[in-house]
Amino acid sequence: MLKLGFCSKFLLASKHIGLRRLNVCFYHHSQELEEEFPPSEWYEKAYPKFLKLTHILKNVDMNNGRLMNMDENSIVIDDHIDREMNEFKSLGRAFIAAPSMQKQHFSATHSIPNTCFSKPNERESLILNSLTKVSDFLDVSAQQRKSVRLKICPQVTQHHIWRGALVEQLNNLKSEMGVLCSHPITIGVQLGEQIVSNCIQFLTKTMNSSATDSPSWMRLAPTKKADHRPSRRWGDVLEMFGDLAKCLKHEKRLEDHVLKLEGMREGLYQIKDVLIDGDLGYREARHQEFLVQKKLTANLGHSSRCLFTLLLYYLNGSVRDIEVEVRGGVYGRGSGSFCLCVGKVLTSENERMVWSGIKQLDRALGLFKFVWEIAGMKGALELQGHVWCVGAKERLVRYKGNVFLVHGIRLR
């Protein structure tokens, strides 16, 4: 049975720029069929629209699901700009696929696999929000996935990683709700802001002295509870996260955060009976931290969104899912070595934009490399990032030991 492939992207772009409907459908069979491309006139008509969008969106970029003004380092909330950005990215992928671009960029540099981004699915986007997606991309076997979980869990479920990821998630949510306050807001967002503030305050007050760098003999013994108040537990945070998710479940602009809240609730449920009091004695506090790690390690599966969030925080100090705009793939290079390529289309050749794009790609490449190595995949893996933008000078950049190639998009 034939399956519809890449044609919809060209049809969508054609609709946006007012071109006639083009019969440029691509299909995939059990055997790979040769890809067809639109006629040269399509590119000639689409290019002016692409240039216009480049000018309109200059220094605006998609940063892991958020529209950002890179000059002001601020979040952009504008449905019209969001639609234009989606159109820009769609056209950008179409130009990457152009035969002239493939020849220009990939045959001229011997270090880039000739097949890189040559297939339609390799020019699609990919949101990395679970270990399963990362493992699928790398073709990690079921047995290797079990090994990955067993190796990752003890590292990422340490108490300071767990608490840090929760606080980071709440701070991110608080920041974005603050941006929404400049627009008409709902009662749900108003209530959500109160819950977020209370939850951050709760986590701060229950921070135990064992989390500091002071040696145990220097720490003061806990004071006796005069009021005999009941001990606080992680279940209190679980309840707050549940209320917060209910308040924000209809807020489209915050849906990614709601998914994160739901994911972290999975972990909170596993440790809901573990004490979280800040005035526990040193030994008891260490025991409670051990229980957090033990319960999370035992119960968070390979496909757990909570486990993936902890991994992101462990690797990058951030809990945001990673969006790869041009997914690329893993390509064999002979002699048992491989090259992993991913890419991004930028609205400007400004150095700040280029470096921002490189750093975003590096985050994805680092995640892939980590899972590749911890899964014990055979063969050396080279990492490559590619950024495309109009007017850019072709060059090779090295960042953290990896290769990043900057490409100019031009009609000819």
334-381 per-position pLDDT tens digit: 788 999 999 999 999 999 999 999 999 999 999 999 999 999 999 999
What pLDDT, on a 0 to 100 scale, did the predictor assign at position 104?
52
Specify the pLDDT at position 12. Answer: 45
Whole-angstrom distance, CA of residue 45 vs CA of residue 51: 11
- Is the four-CA dihedral 350, 253, 323, 102 of positive or negative sign? negative
Contact in structure between 353 and 70 (CB atoms under 8 Å): yes
pLDDT value of residue 387:
96
Our CA angle for 396, 397, 398, nearest 5°, is 130
pLDDT of res. 116: 78
Q: Per the structure block, which two tokens stand in for 371?
A: 């899972």
- What pLDDT sits at residue 101? 65
Q: Convert the pLDDT of each residue in 97-122 to its tens digit.
A: 876 665 554 433 434 555 678 888 99
Q: In the prediction, which pLDDT does 185 show? A: 80
Which residue numbers in the chain have pLDDT < 50? Answer: 1-13, 16-33, 105-111, 209-220, 225-226
User: What is residue 125's predicted lDDT score, i.e. its pLDDT?
Assistant: 94
pLDDT for residue 39: 81
Q: What local confidence, expressed as pLDDT, does residue 331 receive?
A: 92
Query: Considering the entire predicted model, what is its pTM?
Result: 0.86
271 vs 298: CA distance, rounded Å: 11
Rounded percentage of the chain residues whose pLDDT exceeds 90 = 62
Are 408 and 394 in contact by the 8 Å Cβ rule? The answer is yes
Query: What pLDDT sits at residue 277?
Result: 79
